[in-house]
Amino acid sequence: MKNIKFLILGIFFAIVLSKTQAISWYRFYEMFKFQSFHMFGIIGGAVVISAVFMQLFKSGKIKDINGNKIVPKPKKKGFISTVFGGTLFGLGWGISGACAAPIFVIFGFQLIPALILLFGALLGAFFYGLISKRLPN
Amino acid sequence: MDFILQPWAWFIGGPLIAVSLFLYFYFGQNFGASTNFETLCTMAGAGKVSDYFKKDWKQRDFALLFVIGLIIGGFISATYLIPNTNIDLNPKTVQELTNLGFSNVGNQYFPDEIFGNDVIFSLKGFLILLISGLLIGFGTRYAGGCTSGHAITGLSSLQLPSLLAVIGFFIGGIIATWFVIPLIF
């Protein structure tokens, strides 16, 4: 069970998202309406500090637990896929107030309706898999 | 102990999310959440229908443990760590949502109008969640990531596709909150 550390990290990440209210529907509504700095501060702060970590990974100053160089996977390129795919995701995020990780956290809040959301997300991913070859990049 | 039970400010959340990303990479894996939708499809047998899902999900067992951790962490937070679910919202936000017919705005994490248990039995409530879910699942896979994978991992490693995706996230989120929410409520 060497991967048990990911379970603990998942618990930690969920607590961080919960305690900072970054799983609250209202917080995302506020963010997309530009009525509060809270979520911009959280995401912006996470990006800036992560960028420092990325530089330490890149320079090789920090290696992973097995001593390997840490290289983030390059994201697939494509204008339509990123902008249009991103817009579709943004629509779902804006309406439900949930992005990918929070769906699971919200389920942990004992909200059975989150299961409908998760079921929809799995159907969506399945549908994407079926037609991915025919979609423009 | 008092600190644990109070809401955490943004300047605590940002760094702790970065620490989560750091540990994920330090443990030897690429930080993200939405690939799990595909992995769960593979586990459910989607590989029988499409080659796209013919993957060995056991190679992603670490990510499934992370997902189980997210659920446990949500349960722990809801049960023990959030005695007070008030949210310090902008008064303008509260007014707007109240005008749209939302109740209890600012006193809970999730609106009953979307996450209340009775939405399961209403066609409208069910469809709102199902369609949002479809958009989240399809959109994240088409774009190649979500808030974790694109906005945090991708932007912090200065990847152009992630910047485009985040612009897309905001286009979608703005359409949803400015136009779709007032339309459906």
**What digits encode the pLDDT tens for the residues B14-37?**
999 999 999 999 999 999 999 999
Which of B61, B81, B178 is the closest to A19 by Cβ? Answer: B81
CB contact under 8 A, B73 and A10: yes
Residue at token pair 């190679």: B59
Residue B113, pLDDT score: 94
CB contact under 8 A, B110 and A25: yes
Instruction: Report in angstroms the alpha-carbon separations of B74 from A30, A106, A115, B28.
Output: 22, 6, 14, 24
- Which helix (H) or strand (E) element contains residue A47? helix A38-58
Residue A137, pLDDT score: 85
Which residues does B26 contact at the CB level (< 8 Å), separation at least 6? Answer: A62, A64, A65, A70
- Residue numbers in A near B72 (CB within 8 A): 7, 10-11, 14, 108
Residue A97, pLDDT score: 96
Residue B91, pLDDT score: 96
Q: How far apart are CA B38 and CA B27, in angstroms?
A: 22
Residue B4, pLDDT score: 87
Count how many Cα atoms sit within 13 Å of the Cα of residue B179 in the half-sphere of its side chain.
Answer: 6
Between residues A1 and B45, the one the model is more confident about: B45
Residue A81, pLDDT score: 96
SS3 content of chain B, % helix, strand, coil (to 5): 75, 0, 25
Interface test with A, best of B66, B94, B103 (most A CBs within 10 A): B66
B9, closest residue in chain A (CA to CA): A20
The backbone torsions φ and ψ at residue B159, rounded to the nearest 5 degrees and listed phi first, read: -100, 125
pLDDT in tens, B138-156: 999 999 999 999 999 999 9
Taking a contact as any Cβ pair under 8 Å apart, which residues of chain A between 91 and 120 contact chain B? 91-101, 103-114, 116-120
pTM: 0.96
- Residue numbers in A near B52 (CB within 8 A): 129-130, 132-133
Taking a contact as any Cβ pair under 8 Å apart, which residues of chain A between 25 and 44 contact chain B? 25-33, 35-39, 41-44
Residue B3, pLDDT score: 84
Residue A129, pLDDT score: 96
Residue A86, pLDDT score: 98
Whether A7 has its CB under 8 Å from any CB of chain B: the answer is: yes
CB contact under 8 A, B176 and A68: no
Interface test with B, best of A1, A2, A6, A38 (most B CBs within 10 A): A6
pLDDT in tens, A43-66: 999 999 999 999 999 999 999 999
CB A86 within 8 A of CB B139: yes
Residue B120, pLDDT score: 85
β-bridge partners, B54: none
pLDDT average, residue stretch B48-60 = 93
pLDDT in tens, B88-133: 999 999 999 999 999 999 999 999 999 998 888 999 999 999 999 9
Residue B142, pLDDT score: 97
B167, closest residue in chain A (CA to CA): A83
Measured between CA atoms, how close is B30 to chain A, in angstroms? 6
- Residue numbers in B near A84 (CB within 8 A): 142-143, 168
Per-residue pLDDT of chain A (137 residues; tens, 9 = 90+): 789 999 999 999 999 999 999 999 999 999 999 999 999 999 999 999 999 999 999 999 999 999 999 999 999 999 999 999 999 999 999 999 999 999 999 999 988 999 999 999 999 999 999 999 999 98
